[in-house]
Structure 1
Amino acid sequence: MFEAAVAVACATWTDRAWGTAFIQHIRIEPKAMMSRKLYLPNSLPLMALSPRSIVLPGLIHRFSTAQSIEPERAVGLLDYVFEKMQDEDEVDKVLVGVVPVKNDGTKITAGEEGGVEMCEVGCVARIIRLERTDDEHYTAVLEGISRFRIQSTQPTPNEIFLTAKVQHIFEQHIQPTDIAAHALLERLRTSADKLLTAMKLPTTTITRRLKEIIGKTNATNAGAVADLIVGMLADIEFKDKLKVLDAWPITERLQTVIDILESRVEKLKVEEDIKGSVQDSLQKRSREFYLRQQLEAIRNELAATKKTGTKGGKDDEEDEDDLAALKKKIETGTLPPEVKKVCTRELKRLQQIPPQQAEHNLIHTYLSTLLSIPWTQGTEDKVDKEMVARARKIMDEDHYGLGRVKKRLVEFLAVVRLKALNTSAIAGALANEKMEGDAISVPKKGEKSVTDVKAGQRGVEERKHTTADRAPILLLVGPPGVGKTSLARSVASALGRKFHRISLGGVRDEAEIRGHRRTYVGALPGVLVQALRKVQVNNPVILLDEIDKLGQRSHNGDPSAAMLEVLDPEQNWSFTDHYVALPVDLSKVLFIATANSLETIPAALLDRMETIEVPGYTYPEKLKIAQKYLVPKQCAANGLRPEQVVLGEDVVTKVATGWTREAGVRGLERELGSVVRAKAVQYAEVHDKDGGRGYGYDPVVKAEDLEKILGVQKFVDEIAERVHRPGVITGLAYSGSGNGGILLIEATDMAGSGRLQLTGNLKEVIKESAQVALSWVKSNASVLGLCAEGENPVKERDIHIHCPAGAIPKDGPSAGIAMTLAIISLLSHRRVDPHTAMTGEMTLRGSVLPIGGVKEKVIGAHRAGITKVLLPAWNRKDVEGEDGVPEDVRNDVRFVYVKTMWDVLREMWPDFSGIHVARL
């Protein structure tokens, strides 16, 4: 009975969302009452329940008029309901008041003196199912909704059934300040858990669901859970159920249910004690009998085994079938001779060890592992004449920009094709040579000829291994989110090989690479062998992701040292996994590694890989990627067509610059997804209002709408200063995440002793650049016209250099010429055009050295309004090269390439009197 009660109770809570026992959350069928709350009238038709039956809110109750104490009125009421339900529009609108009765089981005729003695409190119920039986009775499934109290009753004009004016009692919630109620809530959870433990129920979906409901009891649904628990207990007394129905204050109901649960727990404890004492008594008297019966059964089983010659029945038959399958795999599989020898030996050992021993399972697992490794199965590369063109097309479809990276990968694939063609030519020449040798062989000289051919075969095999199998190992280095992993997938797709990704981030145990030795419990092969087993070919493309985060030497070994053999083409053809204990050929595998930084990769490991730098995307590239890939992808993911969301270039650019600061596009994709989802909400609301026509919906997203959707703008673009001030210079900075911008450098002086003060969260390298700048100015002060020969221009002055945005750390040598010019501008009281920016490292002799991040810096400067940029002459290739500054930026910005600090001064102040003298 308990299981059935729990099933009914939990089904009610499972079919609806949590807390739907309350009337405001009642689930309404769409056809009946879409988007409307259930209306509770003050007058309800009354139906007396069967004796000792009660309906509580939120629970399901099955009612039969045949068992009703007043069957005539119950049938009359349900006749009325049945007529109402014939009209589809009336479904779920008919509510009845079901009231428990105090009478015994004696049937009462309608109008009989004395009548039915109904309780004052009942439950509003909805009839969710109604069936007419053959004997003119009804069976109804009722769903309790809320409590009510009867104020007055009167029969219908034809006295078919009773109606009543009622006062509805709505569910109360526990207030946050009601300490006593919260204490009762905790006692309810504890008592319910104790009862479930004492019942010792089997673990089923129903019991798990019930425990989950009790665990989620809170101040909002406490009353509903209390009703559920009472409905769960099938053998609870009628008077106790009536107390719970009548207890509409939440604290009174919780206390009533707690008393019931604690009483039930004590009863179960007493029953358990009695049962335990009886079992102990039976055990003592029947122990010998049971043991003798078991001994007799064992003897009979042994006798039957000896007579029939079997080894143990069905389990042994299955084991023999498994051994036969392993033997067939060994005999029919294309295994290398050494592997086949080991497998045959292990199979013989397996056949001699009984299945009950632990070693049997260990050998079986090892043998299954060996047979699942693709020793000779490989994928044929698509090295046809369309391979290079296909590779270009695949990478252009999957990635925007990255011209230099794509070019190197296409070169790599072209080399793979040429090696395959050379190998085929050598193999064909060998076949012709062998046929000629067979045709001209003579008895005495034949052996020599065959020997020569075999030697030629060995040579070709060696050349084949050297040329075709030993592919270079590529390392893609770049910031997160720039497409390193997807580039590796594109290579696999172009070759037609299978692809597998191995994440090396956080791997600190050498055994994860080389595998665990078989002597350890739970030993497994390493990640490389497991990868081969998963793809079932010996020449996949394996991506070694995050190789720069590989753990270093520890008490568990050095995983980076284990990777040395894997990534060495001279050694990985015989890689030995500790678990397999046989050489595994990894030379046919194409390894591609990814990293965010080269600093944490050991030098020996880095030396084995060819590094390809994958730069971060610039804002113009992010704009193209968003329009071509990200926005259509987000539209499809959120149920919109591309034409239903229109994001202009200004909107996408503002999202990229105002809400993201990253090298890749992951953050940009998340923000664009938020914008598309906001438009999806707007479209859904308009669609529901006008019946699907979509009138009034504007698909265009405006720049001023972004803050409403994404919140306050997180980042503000730097804007070049419009005021000419001595000592203020515009430099250029690179954030390291694919973004660049301007960096203001401010210099001022004050009375002092020639001290240099630096602020703005500057690191060591940039501080050294400031020291070099001041030293160069001092040594050339007279030439610059700042003071007379032999004097110190800052002897009685202190110089203070500050870089705004002090919360951001700044480092690097590229601010050298900007700091130098700031000091000269300050001391000479000359202004610098604020639309001019510069970057470059300066030596103590005034030479300007090349720097990095030119493309990103120039794009950031262009966005900030800079019209002229001074760059080291060595960096001209970074501006005008294939992957250099975009053409539209080059058209708007004038570039000046300098070799010395004197070139900078000539460009800034052509009329400066001291510049014609250059001392290097």
Structure 2
Amino acid sequence: MEPVTKNLPVIAMRGLNVFPRMNTSFDLERPISVHALERAMENGEEIFLVTQREIGVEQPEEKDLYEIGTVARVTQILRVSDRVLRVMMAGACRARLKRLWQREPFLQAQVELIDEPATSRHSKRTEAMLRQTYASVTEYAELAQKLPDDVYAAILSTNDPGYLADFIAQQLNLRYQDKQDILDELRPLPRLQRMNEILRREIEVTAMEQDIESKVRSRVGKIQKDFVLREQIKVLQNEIGEGGEDEELDEYREKISKAHLSEEVERKLLKDVDKLAKQPFGSAEASVLRNYLDTCMEMPWGEETKERASVDAARKILDRDHYGLQKVKERILEFIAVRQLNPEAKGQILCLVGPPGVGKTSIALSVAKAMNRKVARLSLGGVRDEADIRGHRKTYIGAMPGRIIEAISRSGSMNPLLVLDEVDKMGSDGRGDPASALLEVLDSEQNYAFRDHYLEIPVDLSRVMFIMTANTLDTIPRPLLDRMEIIEIPSYTDEEKVQIAQRHLLPKERQANGLTASSLRVDESAIRAAIALYTRESGVRSLERQLGKICRKAAMQLATSDVKRVAVTEKNIKDFLGAPRAAQEKIPEKDLVGVVNGLAWTEVGGEILPVEVGVMDGSGKVELTGNLGDVMQESCRAALSCLRQRAQELGIAPDFNKTKDIHIHFPEGAIPKDGPSAGIAIATAVLSALTGQAVHRDVAMTGEITLRGRVLAIGGLREKTMGALRAGVHTVILPKENEKDLDEIDPLVREKLRFVPVETVDAVFAEALVLPEKCTAAAHESYLPPVQESAHSALRAGEMS
């Protein structure tokens, strides 16, 4: 028999299913649904009801609708409001959506009618399925108690499997996806079987819901019962005169009375205890008050360690724990001497500034040991929230005191030494500026009554000693920097690193790896090779890791072979550390034209910064390469302008900027370079390339240049001179204004290098450029101004060094 197809208006149902041979009422609001109903009423035809896959779709397409729906007739229409119609439909038969060929102004589709297949109502399988369904419906009705009696009776009186499955799905409050499963199944007996599966699942879920509800009801009843009994006990205690205070409140009052608190603080805490006594059991406010009182009682009120202000004892501890750093130790000993003479002095705020790995934090811990103060460390790196310093209001969920109060509580003393690491790495965002919150903490005129947002009671921080550590001062706000005394910790020289490795690092690594001095011997030459070829740093962290690697390799040899003793020398260090990782910086092997040894400061110390200049015939183009920052590029332009202004005096063509192309290159292009210190090196290299005069290979220079040829002061002279010595430089040209900094240079470096302070760029040229062996006065004047001849002679004789 050929299937019957019809073109019918369509109503897309949202979260609702209509079954054949069932009456259903629902509301229509969408214009496409209302228009489809009007079209069906005008033509007196049926209408196709199909469910949407997703409820939220407003303008459904064919892919948004299920395939199987129901053809129905309109039996009644009631207008509820101007936009809403309530309709009653009588389902006729199932139908399959073949094609949705119209979407505006209403949905219209070609549908295929589906006939209900016949089922043998007297087979054993059908009878068994019907009985199982009746039993499941009976169990569900007893459990849920939501099924009306007339519906229950109608179910038990039905013996048509297909109709029974549709009727149960229509009457029960199921998900529309489950109802659609029933609608999609065209065979009556499998449809009833699927309905049984859904019923079993609903019975299990309903039973679980009732079990959870009963447990909740039981728990709430117990809490209410406990509350009533506690209140009755309080009333009875008051009646017989025993008072209503429990042990917890008495314990709080005893702790407060024994703590050495000021009158204001004690009154405030006792008031909170009285407030806690009035709270009903289990209330949220009682929990907040308990946490607050517990935090306050954990503070070491009135507890202070007896300070040992002995300069001699402190000197012994500092010398034992740290090698070198004489100026740093001297400043700390001065501070201890002041404490020895005036024990009542307010707490000081010191800031140790230096590269990573030079021992800033360990120095702070040694100071605490020397002064017999308890110590607590807190890192401020990455802190962006002001509440980390001042704490949160205790009314917030999860509130806690700030890091300062937490550190004092952790230290167990009211006069500890607090080490605030990485103070230069604090941030700020919309939640506040933690650096500004530190201003009150570090101000000795204010911190005698510091109020944390959580505690809300004054805490005396004037007895606390603060030591900050930072890698740089550039990112610390000026108001905060003004409250600290800066102590700069410089980079270590190679000699200092050797001593530190022999005295501290190597014994520590031997012990950590289970070795002894007799089982592992590391020569001084091996340590020097490790410093020169495997580490490039200001501190000693990488050196410590390399020594640890040597110890591990040695432990492997001792554990897996018959070797009883391992010796590490410069010759066999590659067997332990592999190929060298840091190339040794060296100056050129001979004097070159257009190549100058500049000096640069980096995070790992000072190093040689070669400047190469090439001059070619061209049209005056200037090429700058080598990953240069803005300051370095400006130094290049200033050096070129300085030479153009002095072209006649220096004997170079006045129009070289129009006839020559100049390429200024800084090797190691992957390394970013920036900073005002390469001006005279660039000018010397350009002049050498233009005149063809070579530059002394063993001369290095640092200093910034002005357009008038004046040499300006620079920073990082100590590190730069150490880098020059490592590279084999003999003479260092530096600005005259930096002559005062020569005292800061390591004595070993000062002994091996010759320093030439200069004020003008002419003196730089006179010292750096190589004169021809047989140079006439005219040739001399071709690149050296007459006014500088005396300066040149004096510099060559070493009178200005």
SS at match of 1:795: helix
Distance in 2, matches of 1:814 and 1:300, equals 78
Distance in 1, matches of 2:579 and 2:522, equals 19
- Corresponding position of 1:842: 705
- Gap regions ≥5 residues in structure 1: 1-269, 424-467, 688-695
Distance in 1, matches of 2:311 and 2:233, equals 72
Name the amino acid aligned to 1:915. Answer: L
CA contact (8 A) 1:858 1:885 kept: no
Between Structure 1 and Structure 2, whose CA radius of gyration is higher? 2
**Residues 302 and 621 of structure 1: CA distance in aligned 2, closer, same or farther (over 3 Å):** closer
- Corresponding position of 2:338: 415
- Describe the superposition over 1:221-262 as per-residue Cα deviations: whole angstroms up to 9, x where unpaired: xxxxxxxxxxxxxxxxxxxxxxxxxxxxxxxxxxxxxxxxxx
- Once the 2 structures are TM-superposed, how far is the Cα of residue 621 of structure 1 from its aligned partner? 1.9
SS at match of 2:342: helix
- Once the 2 structures are TM-superposed, how far is the Cα of residue 547 of structure 1 from its aligned partner? 1.3
Bigger CA drift: 708-717 or 490-499?
708-717
Bigger CA drift: 700-709 or 855-864?
700-709
TM-score between both structures, scaled by the size of structure 2: 0.66
1:902 to 752, 762, 768: 762
1:329 to 244, 255, 259: 255
- Once the 2 structures are TM-superposed, how far is the Cα of residue 411 of structure 1 from its aligned partner? 1.7
Name the amino acid aligned to 1:917. Answer: P
Distance in 2, matches of 1:514 and 1:668, equals 39
Distance in 2, matches of 1:754 and 1:876, equals 38
- Once the 2 structures are TM-superposed, how far is the Cα of residue 541 of structure 1 from its aligned partner? 0.7
- Describe the superposition over 1:475-521 as per-residue Cα deviations: whole angstroms up to 9, x where unpaired: 11222221111111122122211111111112222222111112112
CA contact (8 A) 1:878 1:885 kept: no
- Once the 2 structures are TM-superposed, how far is the Cα of residue 604 of structure 1 from its aligned partner? 1.6
- Describe the superposition over 1:546-578 as per-residue Cα deviations: whole angstroms up to 9, x where unpaired: 1112221x3322222211111111111111111
1:673 aligns with 2:534: no
Aligned length: 572
- Corresponding position of 2:606: 740
CA contact (8 A) 2:591 2:697 kept: yes
- Corresponding position of 2:364: 488
Distance in 1, matches of 2:544 and 2:427, equals 31
Bigger CA drift: 540-549 or 843-852?
843-852
SS at match of 1:476: strand
Distance in 2, matches of 1:350 and 1:873, equals 72
Name the amino acid aligned to 1:724. Answer: D
Name the amino acid aligned to 2:714. Answer: I
- Describe the superposition over 1:161-184 as per-residue Cα deviations: whole angstroms up to 9, x where unpaired: xxxxxxxxxxxxxxxxxxxxxxxx
CA contact (8 A) 2:391 2:452 kept: yes
2:292 to 339, 363, 366: 366
Name the amino acid aligned to 1:327. Answer: R
- Once the 2 structures are TM-superposed, how far is the Cα of residue 303 of structure 1 from its aligned partner? 9.7
Name the amino acid aligned to 1:605. Answer: L
1:832 to 695, 719, 723: 695
- Gap regions ≥5 residues in structure 2: 1-196, 792-801
- Corresponding position of 2:491: 616
1:510 aligns with 2:386: yes
Instruction: Please give the residue correspondences for 1:553-702 in structure 2 after superposition, counting only pairs within 5 Å.
Output: 554-687=429-562, 696-702=563-569
CA contact (8 A) 1:902 1:918 kept: no
SS at match of 1:409: helix
- Corresponding position of 1:729: 596
1:715 aligns with 2:641: no
1:764 to 624, 630, 646: 630
Distance in 2, matches of 1:593 and 1:298, equals 54
SS at match of 1:579: coil
Instruction: Please give the residue correspondences for 1:262-661 in structure 2 after superposition, counting only pairs within 5 Å.
Output: 320-383=246-309, 387-420=310-343, 468-469=345-346, 471-552=347-428, 554-661=429-536
Distance in 1, matches of 2:632 and 2:229, equals 92
- Once the 2 structures are TM-superposed, how far is the Cα of residue 302 of structure 1 from its aligned partner? 8.5
- Describe the superposition over 1:307-342 as per-residue Cα deviations: whole angstroms up to 9, x where unpaired: 99889xxxx999933322222122233211011111
- Once the 2 structures are TM-superposed, how far is the Cα of residue 377 of structure 1 from its aligned partner? 2.1
Name the amino acid aligned to 1:389. Answer: D
CA contact (8 A) 1:877 1:884 kept: no
Distance in 1, matches of 2:516 and 2:281, equals 61
2:731 to 847, 863, 868: 868
**Residues 304 and 620 of structure 1: CA distance in aligned 2, closer, same or farther (over 3 Å):** closer
Name the amino acid aligned to 1:591. Answer: F
Distance in 1, matches of 2:740 and 2:223, equals 92
**Residues 827 and 308 of structure 1: CA distance in aligned 2, closer, same or farther (over 3 Å):** closer
CA contact (8 A) 1:742 1:864 kept: yes
SS at match of 2:418: strand
CA contact (8 A) 2:350 2:485 kept: yes
Name the amino acid aligned to 2:525. Answer: D
TM-score between both structures, scaled by the size of structure 1: 0.58
Distance in 2, matches of 1:610 and 1:767, equals 35
- Once the 2 structures are TM-superposed, how far is the Cα of residue 722 of structure 1 from its aligned partner? 1.0
Distance in 2, matches of 1:533 and 1:743, equals 50
Instruction: Please give the residue correspondences for 1:234-253 in structure 2 after superposition, counting only pairs within 5 Å.
Output: none
SS at match of 1:783: helix
CA contact (8 A) 1:776 1:845 kept: yes
Distance in 2, matches of 1:636 and 1:296, equals 60
- Corresponding position of 1:915: 784
Distance in 2, matches of 1:592 and 1:474, equals 5
- Once the 2 structures are TM-superposed, how far is the Cα of residue 670 of structure 1 from its aligned partner? 1.2
CA contact (8 A) 2:349 2:442 kept: yes
- Once the 2 structures are TM-superposed, how far is the Cα of residue 635 of structure 1 from its aligned partner? 0.2
CA contact (8 A) 2:711 2:761 kept: yes
Name the amino acid aligned to 2:652. Answer: L
**Residues 800 and 541 of structure 1: CA distance in aligned 2, closer, same or farther (over 3 Å):** same
- Corresponding position of 1:236: none
CA contact (8 A) 2:518 2:565 kept: no
Name the amino acid aligned to 1:897. Answer: P
2:747 to 886, 891, 913: 886
CA contact (8 A) 2:227 2:281 kept: no
- Once the 2 structures are TM-superposed, how far is the Cα of residue 873 of structure 1 from its aligned partner? 2.6
SS at match of 1:612: strand
**Residues 300 and 518 of structure 1: CA distance in aligned 2, closer, same or farther (over 3 Å):** closer
1:752 to 606, 612, 618: 618
- Describe the superposition over 1:722-748 as per-residue Cα deviations: whole angstroms up to 9, x where unpaired: 1332112222222232x2222221111
CA contact (8 A) 1:336 1:375 kept: no
CA contact (8 A) 1:355 1:361 kept: no
Name the amino acid aligned to 1:413. Answer: I
1:859 aligns with 2:725: no
Q: CA RMSD in A?
A: 3.4
- Once the 2 structures are TM-superposed, how far is the Cα of residue 644 of structure 1 from its aligned partner? 2.1
Instruction: Please give the residue correspondences for 1:122-133 in structure 2 after superposition, counting only pairs within 5 Å.
Output: none
- Corresponding position of 1:145: none
Name the amino acid aligned to 1:372. Answer: E
Runs of 4+ that moved beyond 4 A: 294-311, 316-319
Name the amino acid aligned to 2:437. Answer: A
Name the amino acid aligned to 2:413. Answer: V
CA contact (8 A) 1:754 1:798 kept: yes
Distance in 1, matches of 2:677 and 2:419, equals 35
Distance in 1, matches of 2:223 and 2:642, equals 103
